[in-house]
Every structure is written in structure tokens, then in C-alpha cells.
Chains A and B, each alone.
Chain A
Amino acid sequence: MRDVAVIGVGCTKFGEHWERSFRDLFVEAGALALEDAKLAGEKIDAMYVGNMSAGRFIEQEHIGALIADYAGMASRHIPSTRVEAACASGGLAFRQAVIAVASGMEDIVVAAGVEKMTDVEPGASTDALTGAADREWEGFVGATFPGLYAMIATDYMHKYKMTREQLAHVAVKNHYNGARNPIAQFPTEITLDTVLKSTVVAEPLRLFDCSPITDGAAAVIVAPLERAKEFTDTPIKVLATAQASDSIALHDRRDISTLDATVAAGQRAFRMAKLTHKDIDMVEVHDCFSIAEICAIEDLGFCKKGTAGKFTADGETALGGKIPVNTSGGLKACGHPVGATGIKQVYEIVQQLRGEAGKRQVDGAKIGMTHNVGGTGATVAVHILGRV
């Protein structure tokens, strides 16, 4: 297998883009990534696009061809493939691009992610997202996505005695980081009170425990490491790519508040990179709900099971803490255009490793990790990236 490097990254601002279409968004992200890699579009050999549900959100399927076409690739007939794993679609698209280059099959490959979620009513987008769980045996009986994660939170708080206030620290920290990220949907700091007094969505989760509905797109370009210097002075090496699956329904898991797919993907990634959690300078985890970040940092090994609430409240996951988590603002503050999230995580880590993260820069960042979850943990993608 060949070593693979990220040579260019681009991302739109995340938010409610009433004035812009699905096509506008991915064309912008792709153009930004090409410009960053100082690359002409004719050099692209293949594309992988993470997208969860264009069929439900904009009534458009066949996204691979659409994107290649509007990115100006139709006359070159390059292979372009849509990748779907609910909210982990972006992470899997990145992984497919890395595998294509590592295998020697392709040289210059785009991994993109896009979701346009605000063209339908909020009820319709919520229902589309429920398709990431088991429609027949969860969705049909009244399980919403916040409801499923709320059941994880109930189980977790019962077992480990985490307080409601400790959980609220996740959102406060992520908004602090988001306020320092120019692409964030909610670049505003909040207090514990903001979280604790917000509307209850599904007990014990409140509005400020939940990631928003977002439009956005992100793109990164990967190439063989040996060719990376042709395009950039600061190539970022892909040290590991890992993916794992688990039961589609939450009720079939071995343990409700452990994501075994996160554990498996994390262990595989560390083994592949020959690293441990101590080597990671910052991590982007999938905080679709505050409780998801609590589980993720434990299941990836950054702190012991049952201690993440205190760990977070003590500031260990904040900028300047032991392991900064979600410097981008995470899904909570940066936004969560589902198919784009996994690519945005790579975008953030690349910025950190290049030293270009501005006010949220982690000093001396050398190695970073991304963690992207589909559904309630039925698919997980983990990547480790490092400075060369």
C-alpha cells in the first residue's frame, strides 16, 4: 500500500443557506479545495461524495454524476461515486478516497461531503434523519433521533452518576470553540444556564444538547505522499483509516452507553498508525448530541468509562486542556450538514496540523484524529492524520 497525503482542503460556511442550492454549495467547497492545492481540475482522477439523503432533502438522487458534472468533469468522464452511511457518509467518502490512492488505482482523488437540509420543513428533515436508525422497529414506534440519544444519556447517567451540569459543559465548550471558527453556524459563546434553561427535547436532553439542521459542503483532495510536494509545502499524511459497524438498532447493542463500533474503529486506527491516545494532540468527535461526545472520548480511550463528565467539566477537553476535543465547535456549534460532517472534521484537523487554525490553534499540533458516527453507532469511521 502507498502512503497517502491530504494536499488541499475547502469548506463552505455552515448554516442556513436559503439563497444557495445543493449544487452551489458543493461547487464552492470543491473550488476552494482545488485552489488550496493549486491544482487544475483536469488533474482529478476520481471523486467520492458523502451524502446521506438528497433524495429526501431535495428529491435528487444520482449525486455522484451530478457533482462530477457541475464540478466541470462531465466531458472527462471520471468515476464519481456517492457514499452513504447516514451521518458517517463523509467519513466513509474520505476513507474510500484514501483506499483508492493507497491501492495505486488512482492518484489524485477528491473526497467531498454535502447536505442541503433546509429546503424541507423541519418535520420532514427530522423524519429523514430517523432513517439512520431502524425505521421498522425504532422509528415506527415513536423513536426520534433525540429520543434514542436521550435513552443513551439516561442509561449513562444512571450507571455513572454524571450530573446534568457536567453534560452541559460539552455544549458550552463547543460553542466557545465555534465562536473562534469562521465557518461555524453558531459562532457565539453560551453559558451553562443557556443549556440548562433551554427547552426539553427528549429528557434528559435539551435543545442546546442537540446539533442543528445545517446546509454545507466540504471537500479535501488526497494524493500519493511521494507526489504531495508537487502541490503543497505542507502535505498532511493519513496515518490510519478505520471503519466499523454494529447493530442498526440501539436496543440490540451489548451496552447501551458504549459504542462498540467506536471502540473497534479506534483500536484499529491506533494499531494501523502504531500510536496510542497519548500521541493525539486534538480530536474531532461526532457530538450530534452532547452525550455522544461523552461516550466518544471514553470509547476512543481518552478517559476511562464513566469519567468523561468530570473530565469535560474540569476543562480537559477544552483548548489548552489534556486533549482538546472539537476545536471546530463540533457538530453542535459548527453545524451538522450530515453528509459533509466527516469531511469537515478532516478539514479542521488539517488546518490545525498546518498551524492555520487561528484563535483556536492547538500549540505545536503534530497528530490529530477524526471520529464520525452513523446513526446511533451502527457505523463509525476513524482517521488519524499527521504532519510530515
Chain B
Amino acid sequence: MTVARFWRKIPQRYNLVGTKCETCGRHFFPPRTFCPDCRRNGKIVDHKFAGFGTIVTYSVIQTEPDQFASPGPYVLAIIKLDEGPQMTSQIICDPKDVKIGMRVRSVFRRIATDGESGIIHYGTKFVPVE
């Protein structure tokens, strides 16, 4: 991946900045620039998400692709953010503890590395809410 491809999404990836349609109030993360409900009547503005959500479903990935190589398996999940939309991310926790319905909050973490000397990608992961 080129630096620009990752860099252009830094506000979204680092700070959980999505969008919101001011016409109907629907929130979007990942961000959309077109409201599927209001179409041409939609008015899209940036929206920073609070970062709290609930696990909808998950898997523990055992055989990871090279660039996600980490010491041991990792937890992949779909999280429903409190503002409404759902997103895919990793959960930092003991794989034995992850459950559907578990409350989580976002944290800033390293996501992947492009090769040995490649750039390191940062972004949003989630941790359980104590």
C-alpha cells in the first residue's frame, strides 16, 4: 500500500471520525459522503464518534496473513457503535474472554506493517470496558 492511500484516511482511522447526515440524523462509520436514505437531499458533515460500542459477532483468527503477524491469535469483531453504525476491528483481550454483547471502547494501536522495512499502519482497535 502506498503512503498516500493510508495517510488520506488518517483522521478516520486514528480518531474515529466518520460522517453524519444532518437531514435524517443517521451516522456513518466507515464514513460515507452520500446518504443512502436521503440521497440528493442528504447533508453530510463530519462526526467524531465517542468510541463506545457492543460486540455483534467475532472470530479468533488463528492463521493470520503475514502483515498482521502478531504473537499469537487475534480477535476480529464487528462492533455496533453507540451512535448506530457497525464497523469491523480487532479486540485487544484474551481470546477466551470475548463474547457477543460485550461492551468495548476504542483505542489507538498499531494495525499492521507492510513488509520488513515497510510503513507501520496505525488505527482503531477496541478493548473491553471494565
Give residues in A with beta carbon < 8 Å to B.
123, 126-127, 130, 134, 136-138, 140-144, 146-147, 150-155, 158, 199-205, 249-252, 256
B96 to chain A, nearest CB (A): 11
For window 47-63 of B, CB contacts with A under 8 Å fall at: 56-63
19 contacts between A and B (CB under 8 A): A137-B30, A138-B88, A140-B112, A140-B121, A141-B89, A141-B111, A141-B123, A142-B68, A142-B90, A142-B111, A143-B76, A146-B63, A147-B59, A154-B58, A155-B57, A200-B62, A205-B59, A251-B88, A256-B78
Tell me if B71 is interfacial: C-beta within 8 Å of chain A.
Answer: no
A142:B62 contact, CB within 8 angstroms: no
Q: Which 4 A-B pairs have the closest CB atoms?
A: A150-B59, A155-B57, A251-B86, A203-B60
Q: Mark B62-82 against chain A: 1 for CB-CB distance below 8 A, else 0.
A: 111110100000101110000
**Complex formed: what's the CA distance from A153 to B76 in Å?**
13
A-side contacts of B57, CB under 8 Å: 151-152, 154-155, 158, 256
A151:B76 contact, CB within 8 angstroms: yes
Give residues in B with beta carbon < 8 Å to A.
1, 9, 30, 56-66, 68, 74, 76-78, 85-90, 95, 100, 111-112, 121, 123
A280 to chain B, nearest CB (A): 30
A201:B88 contact, CB within 8 angstroms: no
**Complex formed: what's the CA distance from A158 to B59 in Å?**
12
B-side contacts of A134, CB under 8 Å: 30
B56:A256 contact, CB within 8 angstroms: yes
Known contacts: A136-B30, A137-B30, A154-B100. The answer to whether A142 contacts B56 by CB under 8 A is no
B125 to chain A, nearest CB (A): 8
**Complex formed: what's the CA distance from A199 to B61 in Å?**
12
Which partner residue on chain B sits nearest A130 by CB separation? B65
- A201 in complex: contacting residue of B9, B30, B62, B90, CB < 8 Å: B62
**Complex formed: what's the CA distance from A155 to B56 in Å?**
8
Other A-B pairs beyond A141-B90, A144-B64, 8, CB < 8 Å: A123-B65, A140-B112, A147-B59, A151-B78, A153-B59, A202-B60, A203-B95, A256-B57
A281 to chain B, nearest CB (A): 35
A142:B59 contact, CB within 8 angstroms: no
Which partner residue on chain B sits nearest A201 by CB separation? B63
B-side contacts of A151, CB under 8 Å: 57-59, 76-78
A-side contacts of B64, CB under 8 Å: 142, 144
**Complex formed: what's the CA distance from A240 to B95 in Å?**
46
Which partner residue on chain A sits nearest B6 by CB separation? A140
Known contacts: A137-B30, A250-B88. The answer to whether A142 contacts B74 by CB under 8 A is yes
**Complex formed: what's the CA distance from A101 to B56 in Å?**
45
B90 to chain A, nearest CB (A): 5
B76:A142 contact, CB within 8 angstroms: yes
- A127 in complex: contacting residue of B65, B78, B88, B121, CB < 8 Å: B65
B121 to chain A, nearest CB (A): 7
A-side contacts of B88, CB under 8 Å: 137-138, 141, 143, 249-251
A-side contacts of B62, CB under 8 Å: 199-203
B119 to chain A, nearest CB (A): 13
**Complex formed: what's the CA distance from A186 to B97 in Å?**
37
**Complex formed: what's the CA distance from A155 to B101 in Å?**
11
A310 to chain B, nearest CB (A): 22
- B61 in complex: contacting residue of A127, A144, A250, CB < 8 Å: A144
A251:B78 contact, CB within 8 angstroms: yes
B-side contacts of A202, CB under 8 Å: 59-63, 76
**Complex formed: what's the CA distance from A137 to B60 in Å?**
18
A-side contacts of B77, CB under 8 Å: 151
Which partner residue on chain A sits nearest B100 by CB separation? A158
Known contacts: A141-B123, A144-B64, A251-B86. The answer to whether A136 contacts B58 by CB under 8 A is no
**Complex formed: what's the CA distance from A84 to B1 in Å?**
22
**Complex formed: what's the CA distance from A272 to B87 in Å?**
36
**Complex formed: what's the CA distance from A136 to B112 in Å?**
13
- A126 in complex: contacting residue of B58, B65, B112, CB < 8 Å: B65
Which partner residue on chain A sits nearest B32 by CB separation? A252
B67 to chain A, nearest CB (A): 8
**Complex formed: what's the CA distance from A204 to B57 in Å?**
12
Task: Specify which of A141, A154, A200, A256 lies most central, judged by the most chain B CB atoms within 10 Å of its CB.
Answer: A141
**Complex formed: what's the CA distance from A37 to B112 in Å?**
52
Which partner residue on chain B sits nearest A256 by CB separation? B57
Which partner residue on chain B sits nearest A158 by CB separation? B100
B-side contacts of A155, CB under 8 Å: 56-57, 100
